[in-house]
Amino acid sequence: MRDLHQQKLSMEDFNRLARLVCQTAGINFTVAKHAMVEGRVRKRLKATSIETYKEYLDYVVSAQGGDEAIRLIDCLTTNKTNFFRESQHFDYMIDHLLPRLAEEGVGRHRPLRIWSAGCSSGEEPYTLAMILEEWNQHHAVMDFEIHATDISLSALKKASLAIYTEQDVKPISLALRRKYLLRSLADENVIKIAPRVKKHVSFARLNFQDADYVLPSSFDIIFCRNVLIYFNKDVVERVINRLCVALVAQGSLFLGHSESIHGLNVPLDTVSPTTYQKRLGRTKLRVEAQ
C-alpha cells in the first residue's frame, strides 16, 4: 500500500467531497478548510485500506458505501462544546420560561419537552437536566423529558456513556458537581453523570438534511446552538422552519450567539439575544410524530 502521508487531496477531489458533504449533511466546506479535510479524510483511507482519495470517494457513493458515508460525515463534524456554554440562555430559561410554563401547568398535566438539536457529546442536554433538577428542588416538581440528537455517531456514543474528565466538568459549579456527578473510585479523572440526571435524556441520530424528521412529540423548548453556522442561508431557513414545526404554539428556540434569523422568512419573534418565540398561526411544514 502507498504511503498515505504522501497522498494529496486534489482540488478536483476536494470539490467533489465538498459537494457530497453539502448534499448529504448541508455542511459547507470552503477551500480554506482544505488542509483540515485532507487530514481527517486521510484517517478514513487508512481505516478502509483504500489508497487514494478518488477511490475512497468512489466507494462512499457506491451501493456498498452507505455506512462509510456516515463515518465520513462523522470525521468531518466538529464536536466542540462545554457544560453551561452561553449561560445567558440558561438564565433566560430559568428566569422567564420555566415560571411561565409552570404557571400554564406544563410539567404537571404533561412533561416539559426539550429538544437539544445538535447535542454533540452530551454536555448541553445534561446541563439542561441539571438545571431542571435544581428547579424541582425549589419549586413544584415539573416532569420533563430531553430529546437530544446529533449527526455524529461518535459524539452520540460519548453522550450516551455520560462519562467526562475533570477538565470537561470545570464549568459546572462545585455545588452542582456534588449533587449530580459521580467520581470513579478507580480513576479520579473519570466522572459520570448521576442516574437521576441521565434518566431524563434520550439520544438519537438526526441529519437535518433528511427528508423528514420523525420526532417523538412537539417541544416546548428547542436548543439548536452553533449548528447553523455550517449551513448556507437557504439550508438555515429550511432547518429553522422545520424546527418551528416541532415547537408548540409560542414555544422557544435558542440559537448560538453567532447565529441569527435576520433576513430569514421564519415564524419567530425575538424576545432576547438569539432567543426566539414561535408566532401563533400556520407553520410551513409538517413533521411526522411517532
pLDDT attached to residue 284: 45
pLDDT attached to residue 270: 95
Q: How confident is the model at residue 185 (pLDDT cuts 50, 70, 90)?
A: confident
Asked if 254 and 149 count as a contact pair (C-beta separation under 8 A), the reply is no
The answer to whether residues 71 and 94 belong to one domain is: no
Return the CATH number at 65: 1.10.155.10
pLDDT of residue 35 exceeding 50, the answer is yes
Question: CA triplet 268, 288, 200: central angle to 5 degrees?
Answer: 80
Domain residue limits at 22: 11-76
The answer to whether residues 116 and 202 belong to one domain is: yes
pLDDT attached to residue 103: 94
Average of per-residue pLDDT across 68-93: 90
User: Which range in 181-190, 209-218, 268-277 is most confidently predicted, on average pLDDT?
Assistant: 268-277
pLDDT attached to residue 282: 52
**Number of structural domains found in the chain:** 2
Q: How confident is the model at residue 24 (pLDDT cuts 50, 70, 90)?
A: confident
| % of residues, the chain, pLDDT over 70 | 92
pLDDT attached to residue 2: 55
- Phi, psi (deg, nearest 5) at residue 96: -120, -50
Would residue 199 count as lying in a domain? Answer: yes
Query: What is the grid cell recorded at 212?
Result: 423528514
199-212 pLDDT tens trace? 999 999 998 888 77
The answer to whether residues 179 and 222 belong to one domain is: yes
The answer to whether residues 239 and 108 belong to one domain is: yes
Asked if 268 and 283 count as a contact pair (C-beta separation under 8 A), the reply is no
Q: Alpha helix locations (H) across the chain?
A: 11-25, 34-48, 53-60, 66-76, 87-92, 98-103, 123-138, 153-161, 174-180, 195-198, 233-246
The answer to whether residues 106 and 196 belong to one domain is: yes
The answer to whether residues 22 and 115 belong to one domain is: no
Would residue 184 count as lying in a domain? Answer: yes
Would residue 283 count as lying in a domain? Answer: no
pLDDT of residue 277 exceeding 70, the answer is yes
pTM of the model: 0.86
Domain boundary among 76, 105, 120: 76
Q: What is the mean pLDDT of the chain?
A: 90
pLDDT of residue 82 exceeding 50, the answer is yes
93-126 pLDDT tens trace? 999 999 999 999 999 989 999 999 999 999 999 9
pLDDT of residue 1 exceeding 80, the answer is no
Would residue 284 count as lying in a domain? Answer: no
Residue whose C-alpha is closest to residue 224's, from 261, 263, 169, 198: 261
Average of per-residue pLDDT across 217-229: 92
The answer to whether residues 155 and 31 belong to one domain is: no
Q: How confident is the model at residue 158 (pLDDT cuts 50, 70, 90)?
A: very high
More confident residue, 230 or 224: 224
Would residue 256 count as lying in a domain? Answer: yes
Average of per-residue pLDDT across 149-162: 93
Would residue 237 count as lying in a domain? Answer: yes
The answer to whether residues 213 and 269 belong to one domain is: yes
Domain boundary among 24, 49, 76: 76
Q: How confident is the model at residue 3 (pLDDT cuts 50, 70, 90)?
A: low
Instruction: Give catalytic residues, as residue numbers.
Output: 40, 150
> How many residues make up the chain in this entry?
290
